[in-house]
Every structure is written in C-alpha cells, then in structure tokens.
Amino acid sequence: MSCMRKEPEISKTEELRHHARSQKVIQTNVKLLGMEGDPDLQFLLKGGDLLKVKSHSWKKTRFFKLQEDCKTMWLAVGDISVVRIGRQSEGLRKNTEEQVEGRCFSIMFKGHRKNLDLIASSEEEARQWVKSLEKLVSNISNLSRQQTREHWIFSCLRKADKNKDDKLSQSEVKSFLRLINIEMDDEYAEMIFKKCDKSKSGFLSGEEIEHFYDLLTHREEIDVIYGEYAKSTGFMSPDNLVDFLLKEQREKATLSDAQKIIEKYEPDEHAKAKKLLSKDGFLMYLHHPEAMVLNPENKGLYQDMHQPLNHYFISSSHNTYLMEDQLKGPSSTEAYVRALLKGCRCVELDCWDGSDDEPVIYHGYTLTSKILFKDAIKAIKEYAFKTSDYPVILSLENHCSVEQQAVMARHMSSILGSALVTSPLGEGMPSDFPSPEELKGKFLIKGKRLNKLEAAFAEEAAAEDTGVTEEEDSNDDDEEEEQKEKKSKKKLKLAKELSDMVVYCKSVHFHGFEDARKNLSFYEMSSFKEGKAMKLVEESANAYIRHNVDKLSRIYPAGSRTDSSNYNPVPLWNAGCQIVALNFQTNCTDMDINQGKFLVNGKSGYVLKPEFMREAATEFDPITLTRGDWLKHKMLHVMVRPPGRGPALRWPPGAKPGTKPDTKPGIISAQQLPKVNQKKSSIVDPLVKVEVYGVPADVAEKETAPVSNNGFNPAWNENFQFDVYVPELALVRFLIEDHDSTSDNEFVGQYTLPFNSLQMGYRHVPLLDRNGNLLPSAGLFVHIMVVDA
C-alpha cells in the first residue's frame, strides 16, 4: 500500500501530462487484470487516509492508495495472506480501545513480515477497504500464468522507461533486460534493438515495443512441439490435439475433450469458430493448472476419508506459537493462524501459569515472549477450518497448576463449544478411532488423562474421586533432556475438568512395542523425540509400522534445535508415524517436503497411508524392502528439453506405458525466474536439481549444469533417470538454484509433489518461494515419463 507523503511541486502542464500517462497505464493494467469498471478497484485507486498503528503511543495518519501497476500499495498485493476486520491482531487488541472495534482491520502477510494494523474513519469505510482488498487479492491469485506474465513484463517495461516518454532507448532496453533477469552482451542486445527499431529513430515505441516483447517471450521449444502436431494448415485440429494428448501426455483423450480445450483456451475467435487451436491457445492450455505437472485428479479431495484417524499421515506443527527461534523469538497467535492456513491439523500449546489466573503459552525456561492461552484458542477457533474441514488436534504441553488447568478447560469449553470432542462418538466404549469424515469441524485434545477411557463406562466410575490426583510426569513432549531429568521424579497434578477432555489422544510413556501391544489401549499414544524415533526406524522399522497400524505416534524435533531448525520427516512417514511435527515457522527443505506431502487430497492435512501400512500383519520394512505389494519398480525419466530437438521421447505406434522409447530422451527450459539479489547488475546462473525422497533405496538427486546470466528463459540439455521401488511413499522435488562457484548455491524456487501425482508428458512445473508461496510468473518446463522397470 503506498504511504503517500508530500511530493515536490510540478507545473500544471507537466501535472496534466503525468496524469494522462498514469491513466493510460492504469487502464492497461486494469484490462490485464480483467477488472474494467470494478467499483472496488476504483475505490483502491482513489485511496484514502488511514490511521496506522504500531504501538499504544505510535498512531499516525497515512494516505494509502493502489499504484498505477494495480498490484502495489506500499506492499505487493500478492504478498497479502489475509485481511482481518476488527481488532483481531495482537497489536490492535493491545494498542487500541474496544470502541474502535468496527473501524479496525489488519493485513496479514505471507512469510515472516509483521502485520499492518489500520483504523478507518468509519465502520463502513473499514468494511469497504477489507472488501476491496480481498477482491483484489483473490483476483490476482486467480490470474492465469499468461496474464501474470504479461502484467509482470508490462510493469518491468514501465520501470525501464526512466523518463516516462513511452519510448525505450538502447540503454533503457539494457536496463529492462536486467530487470527481467537476463544479461545480454552489448552486441546481441544491439542486434535485437536494431531488428525492432523499424523507424530507425533510435527508440522503440508502440508496435516496436510489442515486437520486442514478442521476440523476448518467443519459446522455440513450444514451436517444435506444436509444429509436430499442427497438421491443419499450421493449426492444431481436434484430431491433431487428441494425437498429442495420447502420444505425449499419455492421457485418455477423446475428440470431445479436444474440442472443449479449443473452446476454452483458443484466444482467436476465427480459429475457435473453425475448431482449430493456434500456438497461443496451445501455450495457454499448457499453462493451465489442469495441464501442469500435478495430476488434477489428486489435487482435490480424492482419498477415502472414512478410515480410522490413525490410518492417515497428519500435517503437524511443533512449538506452533513461535514466530522464530525457541530461545528468544516472539510468541504470537498469528503463528497459529499461519500454520492453520497452511493446512496444519495438529498444533502445539505449551501452557504455563500466568498472572491474574490466566494461563499463558511460551517456551518454558527461555526468553520467548508470552501469549494468553485464551487468545490462542480464539485464534485457533477462527482459523481452524479455513483451509480444511477436517479435525484439528490440540497437543497440550501442560505445566500449569491445577487451578489454572481448570481455567484452560473452561476457556476451551466456552470458546470451542460443541466443536470440542469431550466424549467418544457413538454409544458405549469405542474399539477404534473415528474417521476424519466423522470428525469434520471438530477439535481433539491430546494430553494427560487421570484414568483409562474405559473407566468412564464402568460402574465404579460414579464413585471416582472428582478432585485432583497425582500422576508420574513422564511427558515425552518435554524437549530439553536436562529439564526432563530434573522433573522425572516429580508428580503432575491434573485437574479432572482438563483430564476428561482427553478422549482419543491420551499421552503415555513408551516402554517398547511389546508393552504397547499388551498394555495400551488404541487411544493411548506416545511422543518420540526425533533421535529416539530414528533409532527405532533403523532397528525395528517393521515393528514401528505395526505399532502405528493400531495407535498414533507423534514425533518432535530435538531440544538442541534452538534455532527451530527441522529434521527430515520422510523416514518417520516410512515407519507409518502419523503426527510428524515440524517447526512451521522455519523455511527449509524439510518444510518444502512436508508441504509437498500434503499438497494433494484437497490440502486437507490428511493423507491416507498406503494399504500395506494399514494391515496388522504387514511385512513391509522400508530398510530391507522384502518382496510384497509395495514393490512396484518404476523408472522416472525427467527431461529438460533443448530448443529444436524435436519431441523428447518417441514411442512406437500403439505402444503402452512400459514400452521402451525408440530414441534417447531429450531435455527442458525455465521462465521468468526471480532475482536472488535485487541489485540491477545481479543476474542468476540457474541450475536444476531433481530430488527423489522415499524409502532409502529410492533416495536420489541429480542436477544440470548451470546456465550463465539468464534467469528469464534459460534452457538445458540433460537427461535424468531414476529408479523408484516404492512409488506410494516417494516424493519428487524440483529445485532451481543460483550457481555460485565460490560459495553455496542460493535458493531460487522449488516444487515438491508425491511421485504418484506426477502427470506424464510435457508439463509446466509451478515454482514456490522459500515461504512456500507461488512465484507468480516463474516456472519450469519438463518432459516426464514413468514406465514399469
């Protein structure tokens, strides 16, 4: 949002000229966004005064308005995660009075950026700002990749036009090339410039800039593919398109499917009327989400959600309240909001006695800040089911006195209401977990319980002591080993009100798989520090898998990870562990893998375990890989396609998947990669890594050579081949790095998805930034083939 301050005075003529030019730019951008005549967009373009709140004493009026690019308002609109009406942020609750509730709103950002807290002059104006911003954010996020790319390039052209005369000099062309992440030698840049400068004026304007744009965005690899199949006077007919979809994309396509694609994606009305697909229409189709690398059939909710809860991998967070490290980082309710919006289904609450009889949450014995327990529960209640309807587990790390435990129970009961599960579903004592479907919109409490659940159904339950009892504090959730040793002989007093809320997730100490099998009920679960869990995986993987067929297991990072770093979750998933908790506040490869794991099944936060991990007598062992249903040896070919090489793989006519191709695979390209360093002179030297994660036999990584000085449209010429033995547990990660010969490569973008969700053929791969958010214009173009080995 732009905070507008007073600018130097300019002449009336210059002001009129500037206004006319600005309006022209706005009109172009509004058209690119498809929001012509939209009153909410016009409201943002007009702007207005808002009170910006930083602290109780710092409240200042700032003029906010949408800039002419229609994407910037002091901040990039694409960076907005959510706009919240009212005093919902910690800052507004702390620094404003209740009477301004209706005039307040907050803007939350993706990543670690602080909220922007604002107060409008009236409740109506606040609602208008929220409504308008939400519409613009939604519109920008739903733009096609083609629209996003055009808007981005147009914005770069505007930035390069330093004197705002709607012309580009040769030096401005050089500046533009650097803005779009490409370094071109002077001779080649001059050649392109002269080719476009038809008027010989020494400047590019109007159609000359359009020609320059066309030259830049021309993709030779698309020409080659399109040319192979466009047999109808230079266009693709429905028959040609079916041919392409069957041979290259390995899709079951009919003439009807092809006609629908032409009707939907062909921009030329004349071609559409003749049922023909132009090259532009073909490219627009290839950029559509359904034609990209993630299989659209797996994108939505497609798995059976009626299995018992413990048959699913569950997206889980550790120290959810922390925004940064676990020594002195801030605690915030915003951290819960961010985790839940990312699809997290198990959040952790470290609860301690607070002042005024109000329990607080923070990382004990450290300098992390504190938040009220009730505020965390309110935030969780509001955002729990925004991304997913399926149950949320509240993992309580309870260090409170009996009195404040009772307060915790009252807060959860009053705030969560009927959504809180306080007794088993159905009649009588259950023998198994309910399903995610049965628990939709519900909260489960994980924590200590005074007695077995069975006792609640026994006759003697009526005579049970309703006061407080003592229980050995064997809380495995306590990360710091030293603290654990100090506390090992202490007794934990537990309030009955809180104890009774623990139904399906009772925390118990782990004494071995045999003890668990003989003595623990299905709802009694243990938490394992990552080191202990990994040792069990290495020594008794099959026993761990069988344990997790009946019970839930939670894994958490070692207390020595004071920087809130993460561990690799894959080996724990391979052992059937459901709640593999990571520090969601830390951006790293491990979080990328977690996001990729839960990318599918409607981003519900629940992924059904393979059948061979749900059978009580399973023989599956990810380490030894004995023969069984899990062994489905596949060969994955990933190709980065060079321009002018022809289609990457050629199969004999009528060949089925599994047939070997006639020729050696070809290779790929990338588009509009972001700069790693925002300096004008900094251009990336990108390389591509393809990584496979899964059982130890499947783990592999291969990389291309770097391309020098080109982040705009680099192309490679290399082939990758991987053997994948257990595809149901494998994940594939596409990573682009900026090559550096003197230090570590820098992260540019990545995309991770389950192996079985790959689409074959020519596919665009979207790229995510370090925060896991989509890079709007960037992408990778690959050819993928999976065949039986």
514 is in an annotated binding site: no
Using a 10 angstrom Cβ sphere, with 0-12 exposed, 13-18 middle and 19 or more buried, the burial of residue 694 is: buried
Look up residue 111 and give its amino acid. G
The two three-digit tokens of residue 44, written as one number:
């943002």
Closest-CA residue to 693 (of 555, 595, 763, 578): 595
542 is in an annotated binding site: no
Closest-CA residue to 630 (of 650, 617, 652, 613): 613
Q: Is 363 a catalytic residue?
A: yes
Q: How far is CA 341 from CA 326, 338, 409, 586, in A?
A: 22, 5, 25, 15
770 is in an annotated binding site: no
Are 521 and 453 spatial neighbours (Cβ–Cβ below 8 Å)?
yes
d(CA 583, CA 199): 59
The two three-digit tokens of residue 454, written as one number:
């069975």
Look up residue 195 and give its amino acid. K
Q: Which of 151, 287, 311, 363 is catalytic?
A: 363
769 is in an annotated binding site: no
Task: List 670's β-bridge partners, or say none.
Answer: 780
d(CA 724, CA 758): 13
Residues 6+ apart with CB under 8 A from 294: 599, 600, 753, 757, 758, 759
Task: List 52's β-bridge partners, or say none.
Answer: 60, 118
Closest-CA residue to 408 (of 398, 420, 421): 398
717 is in an annotated binding site: no
Look up residue 532 and give its amino acid. K
350 is in an annotated binding site: yes
Closest-CA residue to 79 (of 46, 112, 45): 112
Q: What is the dihedral of CA 71, 73, 75, 81, to 10 degrees?
A: -70
683 is in an annotated binding site: yes
Q: Which of 151, 311, 318, 547 is catalytic?
A: 318
> How, if at all, do strands 360-361 and 443-447 pair?
unpaired
- DSSP conformation letters of 185-210: -HHHHHHHHHHH-TT-SSSEETHHHH
Report which secondary-structure segment, H or E, holds 288: none
Q: Is 547 a catalytic residue?
A: no
348 is in an annotated binding site: yes
150 is in an annotated binding site: no
Are 397 and 613 spatial neighbours (Cβ–Cβ below 8 Å)?
no
Residue 16 three-state SS: helix
What number of other Cβ atoms are within 10 A of residue 2's Cβ? 15
Closest-CA residue to 76 (of 171, 148, 126, 13): 148
Using a 10 angstrom Cβ sphere, with 0-12 exposed, 13-18 middle and 19 or more buried, the burial of residue 677 is: exposed
d(CA 145, CA 152): 10
d(CA 81, CA 192): 40
527 is in an annotated binding site: yes
The two three-digit tokens of residue 638, written as one number:
């990933």
448 is in an annotated binding site: yes
d(CA 358, CA 405): 10
Are 419 and 392 spatial neighbours (Cβ–Cβ below 8 Å)?
no
- DSSP conformation letters of 60-79: EEEEEE--TTSSBSSSBGGG
The two three-digit tokens of residue 213, written as one number:
């744009």
Are 358 and 405 spatial neighbours (Cβ–Cβ below 8 Å)?
no
The two three-digit tokens of residue 224, written as one number:
């080659």
The two three-digit tokens of residue 783, written as one number:
């050819």
Closest-CA residue to 380 (of 343, 349, 332, 340): 340
Are 416 and 438 spatial neighbours (Cβ–Cβ below 8 Å)?
no
Residue 493 three-state SS: strand
d(CA 422, CA 441): 14
Residue showing tokens 């996020």: 141
Closest-CA residue to 152 (of 70, 41, 81): 70
Q: Which residues are annotated as a binding site?
A: 319, 348, 350, 397, 446, 448, 527, 554, 683, 685, 709, 738, 740
Cite the annotated binding site for Ca(2+) by residue number: 319, 348, 350, 397, 683, 685, 709, 738, 740
The annotated binding site for substrate is made up of: 446, 448, 527, 554
Q: Catalytic residues, which ones?
A: 318, 363
